[in-house]
Structure 1
Amino acid sequence: MPDQAPVRSSALPVSDWQQALDTVLQTPVKARPYSAQIMRQSPTAFLFLIDQSGSMDERTTYRGRVLSKAAAVAQIVNQTLLELALRCQKGDEVRHYYDIALIGYGGLNDEQAVSLWSGAAVGKFFLTPAELAGATLRVDEVTVERNIRGRAVTVTEKRPVWLNAVHNYRTPMKSAICLAESLVGQWLATQQGNDVYPPTVINITDGVATDATADELLACCDRLKALRSMDGNVLLMNIHVSDERGNSILFPARADDLGTDQYARLLYDMSSEMPTPYHADIASLFGLDQRTSYVGMCSNADMDALVKFMNIGTPTQHNHSFTANLSSEP
């Protein structure tokens, strides 16, 4: 694997982007947040933080197959990235609706989160959908079953791979969260004056941070969640993947719903409260009661829950209310 040490993602000097960010943060949030149209002139951003620590080698079940958690997560993230790219395809043009970052922690070392882009994108953090094609590790051929005119047909499809199944070292989660804070801050600085949908950060992990205390981790999460555009605060969503039998905690309404599970309570405190436009889809996808509050975390979740979680966090479902924000520009 090539050297992927972090580099600053903005061409602006630190003093310039920090000054621009300060201006963004001084702009009041509008009366109806999380309603900005996602267009080429005003894209949004997605950041995927992937736990690649040694424990991700533990076995799980996904689509009827037993494989490592790292392999299952890689499949799900690769499919999500593909769907994000396809969502931007208009004829021969791939439109710039989002900037996308893929960050790993563990995997390469015990201490530092790194960008996972490969190929022509090594050394970059944010990619446009058009740039994803040059950042693949390889293209796999997979056999899938499709329903064509009422008949089940087996076909071979090509699937791009951006994320490999990696599982080494410990879990420097604070490094990943703090890197996301820096990247989001720089991204918001470049959007100064634009009404942009706030960036979404999705952290996928199977364990506890090894580079910070709970208080240190929460402080970094709070700084990240405090960043915002005029359309609202950054959304930080956390999912703890597990194949253990037991109660899963999905998008709780309040801390008391978590009982005495201290790790679930930590994830709860780390995560954002989900905006109202997400509520109906969260209730529908996860079979939850309709309520007025959902916090963006899942604890002790299986791989099927991770797939649903990704559908909530990214605009990959045409019937998802978030996609109403995507521009219908010609």
Structure 2
Amino acid sequence: MYTAEISRTNPTAFLFVIDQSGSMDEIMETEQTKARFVADVLNKTLYQLIIRCTRAEGVRDYFDVGVIAYGDSIRSGFAGALAGKILHPLSDVEANPLRIEERVKRVSDGAGGLVDQPTKFPVWFDPTSSGGTPMTAAMRTAAEAIAEWCDSHQNSYPPTIIHVTDGASTDGDPSEIVTALKQMSTNDGECLLFNLHISTAGGQPSVFPSSESGLDEHGRLLFRLSSGFPEHLVQAAREKEYDSVSSESRFFGYKAGYEAIVDFFDIGTRASNLR
């Protein structure tokens, strides 16, 4: 399982489910709100997926990509031309950013110092934070999109869903719908659901644990709802010095800080077997 070749004929899918509830306005150690930091990481991830799939003739549609945002409503996280449905071929995403911002990044000056360099930063997803945390309804929306996708891509590597939240569900226990979502499959295996809880509070973070030990009630729920660690991603995690990761681990992070958030997106969107 999880060995299907990813090609333009048989793409895979990445669906990001992002909590935009009111508490996402809390300030992180980066001095950004949680909503802003997650939006930046997501936009950077989308751009990196596009770069990974760009060839001389343009962007190859190895991936279908979507974003679901939830807070005061449940909606596509894309706006403009992409707002009408959840999942889109990557070339459509590349062609329809909301805007291109100019930002500054620090780069080496070749003499041991750092200099500011302007860089173009495409934005598809804007931060916002209001309302509750209707996780169950958001996961139901995700399940509808993934069921339709799997029905029409039975020979593909199964979809990966990356869910980012900072709190407990405010519309009931999402376990039933998440279990159903994880059981959706292609001929190559069941969907992969990765849960990331972010926090500005104290407490020991737990990233890619192999047991519920040390987790509070909410952490134990998210642990149980997370997929096991796919074997082909174990090495990618170890390269980022998550040395304890094994096939017994869950693809789950709890009380994650900014470094773990970046790593989680990066490892979660690694896809082998690109043709």
How many equivalent pairs are there?
274
Seen in structure 2, the aligned counterparts of structure 1 residues 147 and 162 have a Cα distance that, compared at 3 Å, is same
- One-letter code of the match for 1:140? E
Shift, 1:292, TM fit: 3.7
- Listed as ranges, the matches of 1:137-216 within 5 Å are 137-147=98-108, 152-192=114-154, 194=155, 196-212=156-172, 214=173
For 1:90, which of 30, 51, 55 is the aligned residue?
A: 55
- One-letter code of the match for 2:75? V
Give the share of equivalent positions with the same residue, in percent.
35
For 2:17, which of 49, 70, 84 is the aligned residue?
A: 49
- Give the conservation status (yes or no) of the 8 Å contact 2:5–2:273: yes
Shift, 1:280, TM fit: 2.5
Q: Higher Cα Rg: structure 1 or 2?
A: 1
Shift, 1:169, TM fit: 0.6
Q: In 2, distance between residues paired with 1:227 and 1:150? A: 53
- Listed as ranges, the matches of 1:144-293 within 5 Å are 144-147=105-108, 152-192=114-154, 194=155, 196-212=156-172, 214=173, 217-255=174-212, 257-259=213-215, 261-293=216-248
TM-score calculated relative to the size of structure 1: 0.79
Aligned to 1:76: 41
Determine whether 1:127 maps to 2:88.
yes
- One-letter code of the match for 1:170? G
3-state secondary structure, aligned to 1:170: coil
Determine whether 1:326 maps to 2:274.
yes
3-state secondary structure, aligned to 2:38: helix
Aligned to 2:7: 39
Q: In 1, distance between residues paired with 2:115 and 2:56? A: 26
Q: In 2, distance between residues paired with 1:276 and 1:301? A: 22
Q: In 1, distance between residues paired with 2:144 and 2:267? A: 24
Shift, 1:133, TM fit: 3.2
Q: In 1, distance between residues paired with 2:202 and 2:28? A: 11
Q: In 2, distance between residues paired with 1:105 and 1:159? A: 24
Q: In 1, distance between residues paired with 2:246 and 2:84? A: 43
TM-score calculated relative to the size of structure 2: 0.94
Higher mean displacement: 124-133 or 285-294: 285-294
Q: In 1, distance between residues paired with 2:245 and 2:267? A: 16
Q: Supply the RMSD in Å over aligned alpha carbons.
A: 1.6
Q: Which aligned segments of 4 or more residues in structure 1 are displaced greater than 6 angstroms?
A: none
Shift, 1:92, TM fit: 3.6
Q: List alignment gaps of at least 5 residues for structure 1.
A: 1-32, 316-321
3-state secondary structure, aligned to 1:124: coil
- One-letter code of the match for 2:116? T
Q: In 2, distance between residues paired with 1:326 and 1:154? A: 35
- One-letter code of the match for 1:248? P
